[in-house]
């Protein structure tokens, strides 16, 4: 018999896979650098976060103790992904990469 917690874990895995898939499609299909950085950062952060939360629940129940490793990975991911995306965007602006309209805005100063 399948319990409620297994349904929750399965739903979190499906949500995570869906977000990761959308993020990877965005990386391939979007036209310029700035959009290619934005979509995968947001979508895959939510996708990997959902998968890690499902893993935390599963292994916490299996072992009978909280799975600290997955929680630490989620915290690290949620702290570093926005910062790395911001730094990539700043580097793109500094280098003068064009956006989707072909406009180039160099950083002043």
Domain ranges of the chain: 4-95
Measure the CA–CA gap between 58 and 2, rounded to whole angstroms.
14
Q: What are the pLDDT digits (tens) for 7-31? A: 999 999 999 999 999 998 988 888 8
Q: Is pLDDT at 109 greater than 50 in this prediction?
A: no
- When pLDDT is averaged across residues 76-92 and rounded to a whole number, the result is 89
pTM: 0.80
Measure the CA–CA gap between 58 and 42, rounded to whole angstroms.
25
Q: What are the pLDDT digits (tens) for 27-56? A: 888 888 888 888 878 888 899 999 999 999
On whether the CB atoms of residues 45 and 77 are closer than 8 A, the answer is yes
Measure the CA–CA gap between 13 and 5, rounded to whole angstroms.
12
Q: Is pLDDT at 87 greater than 80 in this prediction?
A: yes
Measure the CA–CA gap between 54 and 34, rounded to whole angstroms.
31
């Amino acid at each position: 018999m399948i319990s409620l917690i297994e349904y929750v874990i399965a739903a979190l895995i499906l949500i995570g896979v869906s977000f990761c898939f959308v993020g990877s499609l965005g990386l391939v299909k979007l036209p310029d650098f700035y959009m290619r950085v934005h979509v995968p950062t947001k979508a895959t952060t939510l996708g990997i976060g959902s998968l890690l939360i499902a893993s935390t629940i599963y292994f916490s129940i299996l072992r009978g103790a909280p799975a600290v490793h997955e929680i630490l990975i989620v915290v690290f991911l949620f702290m570093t992904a926005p910062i790395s995306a911001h730094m990539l965007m700043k580097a793109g602006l500094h280098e003068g990469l064009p956006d989707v309209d072909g406009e180039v805005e160099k950083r002043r100063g």
